Amino acid sequence: MKEAVYHIGRNKNSNEIYVFNETVSSSHAQVIIDENSDLIIIDLSSKNGILVNGTKILSPVKLLKNDIITIGDFDCTQTDLLNAIKVFDFKNKIPSERSIPLKSSLVKETIKPKNKIKMNKKSAFITLIILGIVVVALGVTVTSDQRVKKKKYNKKNRVEKTAEVSESNSTEPIIKFKKQRTDVTYNFGCLASSGDVRSNEAIFKFGEFTRNAQNTVLNDVQVTLQEEKEAGDKLIEHYKEKYTFKSNGSEYFKLDRIMKDLVKRLANPRGVEYEMHFVDDTIMNVFTLGGHIVFFKGMFEFCETDSEIASIISHEISHNELGHSTLALKKQKMANKWGVFGQIALTMESMVTTSFNQKQETEADLFGMDIMYPTLYKNCDAIKLWKRMSDNEHDFNLAENFFRSHPYSRNRANCVEHHLESNYNKKCSN
């Protein structure tokens, strides 16, 4: 089933599904029916948030049959959302009618006053003073360890399976997301191709020797997270002069919510501030620097599932977390001190050591699988992605392999498959 996206909010003109309620933001939530026909709800940084069974959501949540969803203070069920989607008919409606109201099947009990009490101004003033005293007195009796109050729901209701909810002195429940495992091992022997006569082994050894030597020479050159971010900022400015960046729309929102879900899974984050960018161009490319992740439309359309997108984004997050850009920025910093001669030397060094990056690319693939594993996304889809990528590549070429910055895609698929099987006992039938 093809994924479908619907927006929920108070603004009738900008949402497929709208709610007439002052506690609902103009653009409040996004509901997605994914390729598995699962219904997923996302909070679009709304003012009053979204609750699922009384628990505030902080990331995308898959809705179950008996779930009760509170948007602002408007309550509805999963069935209400599905019913709204079923009657939505975009193609056959004129633009001014391309939205429908969200109706709730939940009936709230209303109590009608039996008699109206008339008060003059003096009586009302005295009553307010008395009520104020009572409220203050009651407030003093509230203990500091008061628990978060939740609405009572059917026991069958559950929250997102990848999150654990605990209560504290805070006014909101704390969501503890499952993190990546750190007790895994990486094996790069999977990159060997038929006929490479141990070229990859040589590349890895020379690469490690070169990086160790460079790190020793550049030991006194420091690159901070802020400098990484500033380098990324400059790169984004450069690309914005050449391409059209989109910061809204279903494609951008999908990429952004997948990225945020993955970042929450990091076991030992460096403190990188991540930002998603979507480029409206058919180039099949994705890159990162300083927390900026740039995703081109060509790659977005090549991906067949959210899980394939997640495998790419987790790869880019890994580059940042593993510090793969740090050494390059150190070399650039040193080259700047030597002026034009430094730039020439850096260019020549980059040409000679291009293939040394293959191990880093594979390391980012495998580290990305560890980030992705605790989520709802399917790791096995990464194997499908790389195998499909390999359809556009020719057979292994020994000379070319020494000038490739990325491993052959078929080998990357092998490495992911081996990593999942050896560390997670997970076999993928692709």
**CB atoms closer than 10 angstroms to residue 369:** 25
This prediction's pTM: 0.58
Single out the residue of 120, 123, 141 nearest to residue 131, CA to CA.
123
Specify the length of the chain in residues: 430
Q: What is the pLDDT along the chain (430 residues), one digit of tens a residue?
A: 567 888 899 988 778 898 988 899 888 998 988 878 889 999 888 888 999 988 888 888 899 988 899 999 899 999 999 888 887 765 555 555 668 899 888 865 434 444 444 445 555 555 555 566 554 455 544 444 444 344 444 433 333 344 544 444 444 444 456 899 999 998 877 766 555 545 555 555 555 655 565 556 556 667 788 888 998 999 999 999 999 999 988 899 999 999 999 999 999 999 999 999 999 999 999 999 899 999 999 999 999 999 999 999 999 999 999 888 776 777 666 656 655 444 444 344 443 333 346 778 889 999 999 999 999 899 999 999 999 988 876 554 433 433 445 677 888 899 999 999 999 999 997 6
Domain 4-101 adopts which CATH fold? Tumour Suppressor Smad4 (2.60.200)
Phi, psi angles (nearest 5°) of residue 315:
-65, -45
Q: Helices (H), strands (E): how many in the chain?
A: 13, 16
Question: DSSP string of 128-142?
Answer: HHHHHHHHHHHHHTS
Residues in a beta bridge with 40: 32, 62
Residue range(s) of every CATH 2.60.200.20 domain in the chain:
4-101
CA–CA gap between residue 165 and residue 355 (Å, rounded): 45
Single out the residue of 89, 84, 82, 48 nearest to residue 65, CA to CA.
82
